[in-house]
Amino acid sequence: MIHDKAIRDIQKWEEDWDKIQEIIDNIDEFNFDKISKVIDFNKEFRVPERTLNEAFQILYSKFGNNIPAVKYWPKGMEDFFRSINWKTSRVKNVFKGIENHAGDLEVLDKAISSLSLANEKKLKEVKDYYLNSDGRDPRSIELALCILFVNYGRILPDSTQWPKGIVDYLKYRGWTPNRVRAAFFPHPDTLAPFIVGLLSHPELAPNVDSVAFYCYLDSFKLSTKKEKVTVYLEKFRGKHLYRDINESDPMISFCMRHANRMLNVLKNLNRGEVKAILTQKKIPLFLQFTPNNNIYIRILDRSTLTNIVKRFLADLATEQPSILPLVQGSCTGQNFRPTIALIERLSGTSLLMIQKLLNHSHSTTTTIYTERVHTHSILLNKSKEFQHYLVDNALNGDIENRNKALKNKEFNEPVDQWLNCEAKRLWFKDHEVIAEWIAWEKAIRESEEELKFDNIVRWENYWLPRLVKFQSLISMVLEVDKRNALELAKHIKLPPLS
């Protein structure tokens, strides 16, 4: 689920990146002189007023001289003619060569004679004729993005510094400033799916630092083995990771493309910090830029790394509520590796295979690691069981309902069910719970001889430990609470002991 979201997010981002690259490759199609001096996007690229000349050209392109009924005209066309005091009959007559008013035929002749073949083809597809109809607005997403590139290159400043009107125009069409910046150059949220995708990769199970800080442009290379890619991730301490992964693996393919993408972009950036980066022997793969006080291209810092993983999971939780506990539990990138190890252990994978997966030098390291993770998961599970017990206890209803014999679902017989919860927590102030302890303790104590006679083994292994537990619990209760609980205990009906 998490890995799949990472792949989907990268695919969406790559589409935006490719759009920007296409605009850059076709930059000559735009009026460079005009767009390089834009100050106010809306004023300098106004939507033109509708004209009689344009309306005639549209009607002629669609119908020739045989103008049909109004219902077949482009929507908004009749309203336009009415706004300039042209009735429908007058429009139809002028196309028939009948001049109701002096100069009508001259206007039509000028419109048709100035209509180029290319424009006629375009106008033939017009479906509506309003002021803001598609095709009439000289503005476009591509134009706005092109203006940003021409003025700032790939490293965009804060959106407050963009030409007036561009932010609102793009935002209204789904291109938020964050999305726009990411399409020009990666920023932290762009890198989140790459990092989470690698951390959640079941064949890599890498260390967080290895992915975020020791992953380089040459970390993903074609292997000598057929259809394999060698993944190389360094580690500050311990063995570096070398592993062959299928070339068809989506995450590996994304990383290879990203490495080529970043190398090409860095070579074309004329910035001091980029020149310094390119002189390094190992160039980081996950570089990013955020227009804040530290306005330079760099790798992620640790606090940002933690935050982007949390944001990634929080975003997924809006689609998949089952992820919400991870968000509420402050899950970070550090949780992926042990989770993969635990899944492998619970799936019956051998210790040797887990050692290979985790890239440990010694099996003892793997044993200690997996035992710690397994123990932690058991504790979490006990905590969850305890929470379920709390909820069940709260939903039991009033005292009268609570006094009814509890049923053990596993053995289908009445027992002291709370003792079946592995994760035990004690209350010393709840009179109803204390009353149950007293009732059970008294029942077991008074039936001791009978229980021994019936089944001495069951007495020693089952009832005696419970008797001791109840007596131990009751000994820790204050006398004032015990007195109140004794009254309640008199009304508790327990099932027969056996």
Residue 283 has pLDDT above 80, yes or no: yes
What digits encode the pLDDT tens for the residues 214-267? 999 999 999 999 999 999 999 888 789 999 999 999 999 999 999 999 999 999
pLDDT one-digit tens code per residue, 41-94: 988 888 888 999 999 999 999 999 999 999 999 999 999 999 999 999 999 999
Nearest-CA neighbor of 254 among 285, 224, 295?
285
Cα separation, 125 vs 129, in Å, equals 11
pLDDT at 415: 46
Banded model confidence at residue 293, pLDDT cuts 50, 70, 90: low
Closest CA to 78 of 88, 66, 64: 88
Q: So what's the pLDDT on residue 4?
A: 94
Higher pLDDT, 321 or 89: 89
Helix, strand or coil, per DSSP, at residue 268: coil
Question: Which comes out higher in pLDDT, residue 436 or 394?
Answer: 436
Residue 164 burial (CB count, 10 A) = 13
The amino acid sitting at 107 is: V
| Cβ neighbours around 311 below 10 Å, total | 14
Q: If pLDDT is split at 50, 70 and 90, which confidence band does 382 have?
A: low
pTM reported for the whole predicted model? 0.68
- Residue 450 binned pLDDT confidence (cut-offs 50, 70, 90): confident
Q: What is the pLDDT of residue 395?
A: 66
Taking residues 130-155, report their average pLDDT.
89
Q: Is residue 331 helix, strand or coil?
A: coil
Between 395 and 64, residue with greater pLDDT: 64
Taking the C-alpha atoms of residue 471 and residue 468, their distance in angstroms, rounded to an integer, is 5
Domain ranges of the chain: 1-45+138-184, 52-125, 188-324, 332-379, 431-490
Which residue is it, tokens 């005639």? 56
Average pLDDT score, the chain? 86
Confidence of residue 398 (pLDDT cuts 50, 70, 90): very low
For 352-368, the pLDDT digits (tens) are 998 888 888 888 888 88
DSSP string, 169-195: HHHHTT--HHHHHHHHS--HHHHHHHH
Lowest mean pLDDT among 15-29, 76-90, 426-440: 426-440
**pLDDT value for 156:** 94
| 3-class DSSP assignment, residue 211 | helix
Q: Strands 407-408, 220-222: parallel, antiparallel or unpaired by DSSP? A: unpaired
Q: How confident is the model at residue 406, as a pLDDT? A: 44
188-324 CATH pick, 3.40.50, 3.30.420, 1.10.260, 3.90.15: 3.90.15
Q: Taking residues 96-109, report their average pLDDT.
A: 92
What pLDDT shows up at residue 412?
44
Q: Which residue has the higher pLDDT, 249 or 461?
A: 249
Confidence of residue 399 (pLDDT cuts 50, 70, 90): very low
For 326-336, the pLDDT digits (tens) are: 887 778 888 88
Paired tokens of 411: 């053995």
Residue 410 pLDDT greater than 60, yes or no? no
| Among candidate residues 437, 427, 494, the one with its CA nearest the CA of residue 471 | 437
- pLDDT of 268 over the 50 cut: yes
Does pLDDT of 7 surpass 90? yes
> What are the contacts of 106-111 at 24+ separation with CB within 8 A?
107/52, 107/53, 107/56, 108/56, 110/53, 111/52, 111/53, 111/54, 111/56, 111/57, 111/60
Residue 343: partners with Cβ closer than 8 Å, 6 or more residues away = 202
Query: Quick check: 402 pLDDT over 80?
Result: no
Q: In terms of pLDDT, which residue wins out, 374 or 102?
A: 102
Residue pLDDT, tens place only, 181-213: 999 999 999 999 999 999 999 999 899 999 999
Higher pLDDT, 327 or 158: 158
d(CA 75, CA 59): 12
